[in-house]
């Protein structure tokens, strides 16, 4: 019993041992500095509206007290969450690495959080996630959106968005000009003596896929040459095997693929089957992803300013958010160019 009595005072003497420290508030900073809470709030959320001496005094005290802004409370009062969603169609595709880096750096510099969402090549999942996150984000950047034009335009009327590689009326967009790159690639192959070229098609719901095919058809037609479209194929390395097998069953001597992942898979399968590249067939990829110059043979491909596209998209979105009106630039086109490596060569005799 005596032992029990000695334990009881410990509970009385040490109350709240499991409680977390109280969060520092704007009122605490106001009390420490002598400024009104409203002045403290302006200095921390809109520093440009407070003179430099006052702002520096307040931020110094806030830092010493380890003040952390309450973003939820700020969102309730301002209607802003300072968070932007970035949706990509396949987060495992190296094409998106540079784009994610570009959006991340630009948003961080502007004080915004970056919410990355993998839409898994599904327009339905895109729509679901944006509806679910609507109250938690200020806007969104949609890279290679799989939404139909009508739904994408309707979304842009309700939520500030910028689309990358989608050209829909009323939707601000950043376009990587891969069609002109495909035209360059086609001219390159024709100059090497190739007279029948195939296109290994990517996802049917991809706007860029359709644009690249049209560019190939138009350029080949100017030379009076036929083209073939094979696929569609899922745009990954694994499905390059099926694409290569389909290619072997044709008489073409060159092909342009939807993206580099598919092209790298094609190269691997052709090597397995003893088909020489570029001796028997030339291969061109799209995007110039990390690794395109490591495969064997190194891949001729379209080089695109992917990271810049992410940065430009963020700038357009932030302009819309800060000015409260659609950006005056509805569409920005970034150029591409053909990078010639070892996977293309003269047509076989």
Classify strands 227-230 and 197-200 as parallel, antiparallel or unpaired: parallel
User: pLDDT class for 12, splitting at 50, 70, 90?
Assistant: very low
User: pLDDT class for 330, splitting at 50, 70, 90?
Assistant: confident
Tokens of 2: 């005596």
User: pLDDT class for 147, splitting at 50, 70, 90?
Assistant: very high
Q: What is the pLDDT of residue 172?
A: 94
Q: What is the pLDDT of residue 349?
A: 85
Model confidence pLDDT, tens digit, residues 211-220: 999 999 999 9
Backbone torsions φ then ψ of 256, nearest 5 degrees: -115, 130
User: pLDDT class for 199, splitting at 50, 70, 90?
Assistant: very high
pTM of this structure: 0.76
User: pLDDT class for 292, splitting at 50, 70, 90?
Assistant: very high
Helix (H) or strand (E) run with residue 191 in it:
helix 178-191
Give the residue with greater pLDDT, 20 vs 90.
Answer: 90
> Where does the chain show beta strands of DSSP type E?
83-88, 113-118, 139-143, 161-164, 173-176, 197-200, 227-230, 254-257, 282-287, 300-303, 331-334, 337-339
- The yes-or-no verdict on residue 190 having pLDDT over 70 is yes
Query: Is residue 322 classed as helix, strand or coil in its secondary structure?
Result: helix
User: pLDDT class for 62, splitting at 50, 70, 90?
Assistant: confident
- The yes-or-no verdict on residue 129 having pLDDT over 70 is yes
Q: CA 172, CA 82: separation in Å to the nearest integer?
A: 20
Q: What is the pLDDT of residue 134?
A: 86
- The yes-or-no verdict on residue 269 having pLDDT over 90 is yes
- Percent share of the chain, pLDDT over 90: 68
User: pLDDT class for 16, splitting at 50, 70, 90?
Assistant: very low
> Hey, what's the torsion of the CAs at 143, 144, 148, 154, to 10 degrees?
20
């Amino acid at each position: 019993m005596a032992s029990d009595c000695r334990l009881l005072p410990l509970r009385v003497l040490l109350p709240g041992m499991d409680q977390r420290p109280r969060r520092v508030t704007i009122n605490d900073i106001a009390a420490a500095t002598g400024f009104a809470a409203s002045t403290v709030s302006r200095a921390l959320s809109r520093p440009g509206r407070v003179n430099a001496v006052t702002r520096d005094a307040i931020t110094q005290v806030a830092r010493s007290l380890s003040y952390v802004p309450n973003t939820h409370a700020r969102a309730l009062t301002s209607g802003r969450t300072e968070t932007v969603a970035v949706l990509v169609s396949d987060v495992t595709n190296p094409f998106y690495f540079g784009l994610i880096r570009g959006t991340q750096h630009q948003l961080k510099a502007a004080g915004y959080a970056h919410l990355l969402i993998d839409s898994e090549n599904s327009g339905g999942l895109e729509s679901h996630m944006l509806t679910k996150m609507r109250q938690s984000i200020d806007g969104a950047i949609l890279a290679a959106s799989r939404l139909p034009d009508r739904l994408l335009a309707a979304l842009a009327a309700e939520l500030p968005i910028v689309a990358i590689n989608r050209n829909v009326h009323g939707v601000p967009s950043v376009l990587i000009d891969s069609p002109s790159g495909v035209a360059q690639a086609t001219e390159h192959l024709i100059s090497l003596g190739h007279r029948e070229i195939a296109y290994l098609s990517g996802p049917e719901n991809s706007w860029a896929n359709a644009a690249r095919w049209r560019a190939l058809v138009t350029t080949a037609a100017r030379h009076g040459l036929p083209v073939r479209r094979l696929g569609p194929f899922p745009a990954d390395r694994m499905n390059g095997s099926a694409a290569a097998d389909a290619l072997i069953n044709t008489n073409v001597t060159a092909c342009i693929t939807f993206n580099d992942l598919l092209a790298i898979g094609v190269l691997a399968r052709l090597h397995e089957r003893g088909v020489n590249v570029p001796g028997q067939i030339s291969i061109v990829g799209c995007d110039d992803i990390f690794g395109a110059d490591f495969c064997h043979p190194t891949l001729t491909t379209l080089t695109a300013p992917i990271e810049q596209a992410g940065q430009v998209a963020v700038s357009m979105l932030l302009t819309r958010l800060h000015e409260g009106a659609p950006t005056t630039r509805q569409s920005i086109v970034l150029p591409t160019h053909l990078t010639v490596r070892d996977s293309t060569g003269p047509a076989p005799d």
